[in-house]
Amino acid sequence: MTASGILVAGTSSDAGKSVVTAGLCRALARRGLRVAPFKAQNMSNNSMVCADGGEIGRAQYVQAQAAGVLASTAMNPVLLKPGSDRRSFIVVRGRAAGVLEAGQYAAGRARLAEAAFAAYAELAEEYDLVVCEGAGSPAEINLRDGDYVNLGLARRFGLPVVVVGDIDRGGILAALYGTWALLSDEDRALLKAFLINKFRGDVSVLEPGLVEITRRTGVPFLGVVPWLLDVWLDSEDTLAVGQWRAGPTAPDEADGGAPDRLTVAVIRLPRISNATDVDAIATEPGVDVRVTIDPVLVDAADLVVLPGSRSTATDLGWLRERGLADALVRRAAARRPLVGICGGYQMLGRHLEDQVEAQVGVVPGLGLLPTGVEFAHEKVLGRPVGSWRGHRVEGYEIHHGIARRTTAPSLSPDGAEEPPTPFLDGWQVGTVWGTMWHGIFENDGFRRAWLTEVAVAAGSRWRPATDAPGFGARRARMIDTLADALEDHVDLDALLGLTRVGSTARAAATDSSASSLHPRAGSRVVPGAR
């Protein structure tokens, strides 16, 4: 049977599987192929709501955008959302499907595998090619029995496997060889290529090592992808939170920021979810974003973002233990800007009643917004649309907590009653904002207008650059840059030759009008080291 797809595996988490998959989706779509991304099981608290109302990993949603197709729950049929070190909430085909304890994982995978395999078969029927992303590393032999996301998936559907290694981590040759060495003979038979990611320098220095690894394993290298400084895409891995913070630190940031810049502190909660909400803020020229757990930075920043959480009540207790809750209350009293999103918004209310997530009963909130929160077993999933001061705002909702207005008055710092103002299905009191909606800052007009208000309140002279590209345009440019790099440094023809579309892809590649996704005519494929 000719392979209906390929599997992009990695030597470790955050080795580049997600971005390589996104780049392949765009590069192959340019060739006129109808391509679908797929990840059988994703363990991530960064998720997105599809147009059909189902929830999938954020990375797969962006990969679908890269392929130019509508995201669907078949592209990430199993999503595990960690609620603690030993407990995950299960999402199957976009809908909540119970809880999985650590000790139940091995026994509980059979039904999840069935859902994953059925979803892959569905995509394979509909699309020319399915580009699959693995999870973690196939060398995790302790998880091989019952595996359905790495080599278990590849064996089931006869998929050729490409292993990606991040050279920036160091030890790349050992990681690639060790991955191959730990596999069984049957699994090794599917390992068809290695790929180096994030290379900087002269590739000729690296090539002798690649030749020796191929001699020892029989596995060729299809390319060496260079370091792409300005390319970062929605991550599924909490280890990568804040990876956009690669630029130089503002000179006066440690003292609260230069007067013409805007400093933003994002609190890194233990169970942070949808940290991608901050991505669009971080792209604004003159805005310095730092992920932190330091109360001193929380006090000093112009704006603090309290993001979502997969265990809201537990993370609220953690805020109190770290002294961060006191820092947030001080900010509100001093009228310094603070915004809470989803779980962060819930923490800013008067109380939480949780018998669902952390199952802790009623706990007091920070008392900064006029809401009480009750957690429901049924998860709210939606893609709401609203407005703020004439700016259209689109977002998405993923939450169990239901926030309702309380009857107690909201008080200003001097003790006077202060009426709350509606804010995107949430509330604003003074310089404290809260909303259940994720993704609001991806709306360019709203983001820039709201940040201007924040800057004025914080006493910063920062103002948005009117000629800066929008967030959507920047993301599209990043995807194209990534696809260009794969076209130039990876032998895509050899990769396609391993699949059922290999014989027709070369003909399609000569037609530069085959897809509106192709930004440049006559892109050439330069084979990597083989």
Residues annotated catalytic, as ranges:
342, 438
Q: Is 3 helix (H, G, I), strand (E, B) or coil?
A: coil
DSSP letter assigned to residue 227: P
Between the alpha carbon of residue 95 and those of residues 47, 56, 236, 399, the distances in Å are: 12, 9, 18, 12
Going by C-alpha positions, the residue among 138, 98, 137, 140 that lies closest to residue 115 is 98
What are the backbone dihedrals phi and psi of residue 440, each rounded to the nearest 5 degrees, phi first?
-65, -30
Q: Determine the Cα–Cα distance for residues 127 and 207; give it in Å rounded to an integer.
A: 36
C-beta atoms surrounding 360 within 10 Å: 17
The CA-atom distances, in angstroms, between 422 and each of 304, 373, 394, 406, 433 are 20, 17, 16, 14, 9
CA distances from 472 to 22, 296, 371, 465 (A): 15, 33, 33, 16
Count of positions (residues) in the chain:
530
- Burial state string for 241-250 with b = 16 or more CB within 10 A and e = fewer than 16: bbebeeeeeb
Residues ≥6 apart with Cβ < 8 Å to 105? none
What is the DSSP annotation of 67-98? HTS---GGGS-EEEEEEETTEEEEEETTEEEE
- In terms of C-beta density within 10 A (0-12 exposed, 13-18 middle, 19 or more buried), how is residue 473 classed? exposed
Count CB atoms within 10 A of the CB of residue 49.
23
Output the six-digit token pair for 209. Answer: 């090592």
Handedness of CA 366, 369, 372, 374 (dihedral sign): negative
Assess contact for 17 and 37: CB atoms under 8 A.
Answer: no
Residue entry with tokens 């990375």:
59
Q: What is the CA radius of gyration of the chain?
A: 24
